Amino acid sequence: RLPCASQDEPLVLRFFDTEFGVQRRRCVRSRSSEHAGGFDLRFYDLPELAATLREAVSRAKAQGRRWASVGLYLYWVEGPERARL
């Protein structure tokens, strides 16, 4: 389980037999009051997402790369918890 949080320390995530190396992670879940009460899981914070993407591209350019890799981890809710939301 991976909580929605921002972290600058590298970590490795495992999904079935695949390991993903993550250098930084950013929580882009909506902080808007209109999405409160569980709906924040369904929406994202567009300014935070845009800043994160710009930062990834900027870091790649600074390292002399012409590409940047950005992954998006979606939180999916099933069962009784989904009905509650």
Banded model confidence at residue 13, pLDDT cuts 50, 70, 90: confident
| SS percent in the chain: helix, strand, coil, step 5 | 35, 15, 50
- Look-up: residue for tokens 């970590």? 11
What confidence score (pLDDT) does residue 3 get?
A: 74
To the nearest whole percent, how much of the chain has pLDDT over 70?
74
Banded model confidence at residue 46, pLDDT cuts 50, 70, 90: confident
CA 82 to chain centre: 20
Per-residue pLDDT reduced to its tens digit, 56-80: 999 999 999 999 888 877 666 556 6
* CA count, 13 A, side-chain hemisphere, 58: 6
Over residues 22-43, mean pLDDT: 74
